[in-house]
Structure 1
Amino acid sequence: MDTALVFWNNIIFSCGVPKIIIRDRNPKFTSEIWTNLYEMLGTKIAFSTAYHPQTDGLAERMIQTMEDIIRRFCAYGMEYKDHEGYTNNWVTLLPEV
């Protein structure tokens, strides 16, 4: 649910509703919450080919980079001040990364 709220608050409000989303088959993003959200927004979903390194390579590299940055924020005690005060919660930090 946290990820869906981050998506709603930071992607939809900032960039608008995406026409299509290409994603892998991670069960977290195939849940009923996501399915209902995509249907409500009229967003089409396309799945990448399962276990296909060429398809997943760029996405996996971006995820690795984001994990490294978030890890540094948390490991070095860096905190980001949002409207509710300081936090090192990764869900709050993700849009800043």
Structure 2
Amino acid sequence: LEALLRAIHDAPFGGHLGSSTMEEKKRKTKKKSTITPGSFIRTIWIGPLPMTVNENRYILTAMDYLSKWPIAKAVPNITTITTVGFLYNDLISVYGCYKRLISDQESNFKSEIVKQLCEKLGIQHSIISAYHPQANGLVERFNKTLSEVLGNFTDEFTADWDRYIPDVLFAYRTTTKFSPFQM
């Protein structure tokens, strides 16, 4: 391969003005990715849904941008206190502090308490545009899958849909995305 590249490079109509110049440009422009699992987390909620026997009506969801690891929790409301509890107890204390939180424009995510939490922990909070859900498409797509699968589980059992969230998360997290032939 090295000989082939050199032959092409040294040909009268090929090559570059200087390989050292090209290598220097390549070295300067090559950027190391700073995105690692846990760097960016996207959050959103689903609901209101039929109230369960545990008095839950909403699902707060989050997804890691790189690993696509989903987190979901049934909650009774979407108040600021519930949201901060989810962010801290179900995300930060379990998975560690992330660099950036991406959320929609709901008031529970725009509250002063969420702002203070992010500032205290050094989390950059980005709020997506109101009429641009594609910016949060990753978690929106997961929410669609979660809703569809929960709907399949709960046709007759609407009062206990929250019981099935761990099962749906397990199925989603362990799906290979490969056909048996590819395995």
User: Which runs of no fewer than 5 residues in structure 1 stay unpaired?
Assistant: 81-87
Q: Per chain length, whose mean CA-contact separation is higher, i.e. which structure has more relative contact order (CA < 8 Å, sep 6+)?
A: 1
* Separation in 1, partners of 2:149, 2:107: 24
Percent identity between the aligned chains?
Answer: 29
Q: How does 1:61-80 map to 2 (within 5 A)?
A: 61-68=141-148, 72=153, 75=158, 77=160, 80=163
- What secondary structure sits across from 1:40 in the alignment? helix
Structure showing greater radius of gyration is 2
- Normalised to the residue count of structure 2, the TM-score between the two structures is 0.37
The alignment status of 1:57 with 2:137, answered yes or no, reads yes
> Could you say which residue in structure 1 is the equivalent of 2:181?
none
Map of 1:1-97 to 2, 5 A cutoff? 1-68=81-148, 72=153, 75=158, 77=160, 80=163, 97=169
* TM-score w.r.t. length of structure 1: 0.62
Number of paired residues?
85
Query: Is the alpha carbon distance of 1:37 and 1:70 closer, same or farther for their aligned partners in structure 2, counting shifts above 3 Å?
Result: farther
Aligned AA (2:109)? F
Point out the more displaced range, 2-11 or 63-72. 63-72
2:101 aligned counterpart, secondary structure: strand
Matched letter for residue 28 of structure 1? N
Give structure 2 stretches of 5+ with no counterpart. Answer: 1-80, 170-183
- 1:11-43: per-residue Cα shift (whole Å, max 9, x none)? 111110111112222221001111111111111
Could you say which residue in structure 1 is the equivalent of 2:172? none
- Aligned-pair CA distance for 1:63: 2.6
Q: Secondary structure at the match of 1:46?
A: strand
